[in-house]
A = this chain, B = another copy of it.
Amino acid sequence: MREGPDIARIASLVGDPARANMLNALMGGTALTASELALEAGVSLPTASSHLSKLMEGGLLTLASQGRHRYYGLASAQVAGMIEAIIGVAEAVGPKRVRPGPRDAAMRVARVCYDHLAGEQAVAMLDRLFDRKLLLREDNEIRLSPSGASHFSALGIDTHAKARRPVCRACLDWSVRRSHLAGTLGAAILDKIIAEKWARREKDSRAVVFSPTGRQAFERVFLS
């Protein structure tokens, strides 16, 4: 018996198959309606609605109403990071799959984690941003250096904090088991990658697939 944060409550929210499927679907970063999430989870609309209200009450989701459409999304990158951590353990202890499959390999290279890039490319990128001193580790935070601020501005990437969200944040990568970049800067970089058409989102997957020229451009800008 101990007080402290109610970890059982949070874990049990993720611990139902229908809710886990919904959260997994939302890891792609796109907000979805109750009908879409019911389909993802394989349950009826009333059941999905009941799950969604539980996830809302637990603080794991946000809701944006647009007319008669109601879009559910993950509450934060922190929630996404927790789900990544659970996926990591599930992968590690789960039955070894015979062949990981091409989609799985693509996910390890680059994928969406809520609103930012994850995978080997993302971890390598954060390492290089530190090496080039565009980002600094300081006072237990990741901070944008002056040269980093001008670097990203020159690329047309907005580096200003929005609504209480930090610019830079670390997020643990389940496939690499190292940190990648989250926060508004992480989200802005992913936006740029997609906007520049350096990479495209795989349909019905979190995988991010770079084109040959897009990969070169990405590496020149972020990995050089």
Interface residues of A (CB under 8 A from B): 1-2, 4-17, 19-21, 24-25, 40-42, 58-60, 75-76, 78-79, 81-94, 120, 123-124, 127, 130-131, 137, 140-142, 169-172, 176-179
Contact = CB atoms under 8 A, between A and B. Distances in A.
A123 B140 CA distance: 6
A20 B8 contact: yes
Q: Which of A1, A14, A85 has the most CB of B within 10 A?
A: A85
A2 B40 contact: yes
A16 B21 contact: no
Contact of A14 (B15, B42, B142, B169): B15
Contact of A85 (B21, B42, B130, B172): B172
Q: Taking the full assembly, how many copies of this chain does it contain?
A: 2
Contacts of A92: 59, 76, 78
A59 B93 contact: yes
B15 A13 contact: yes
A12 B16 CA distance: 7
A140 B1 CA distance: 40
A43 to B, nearest CB: 10
A78 B88 contact: yes
| Leading 8 A-B pairs by shortest Cβ distance | A12-B15, A59-B93, A5-B90, A15-B15, A11-B14, A8-B20, A11-B15, A85-B85
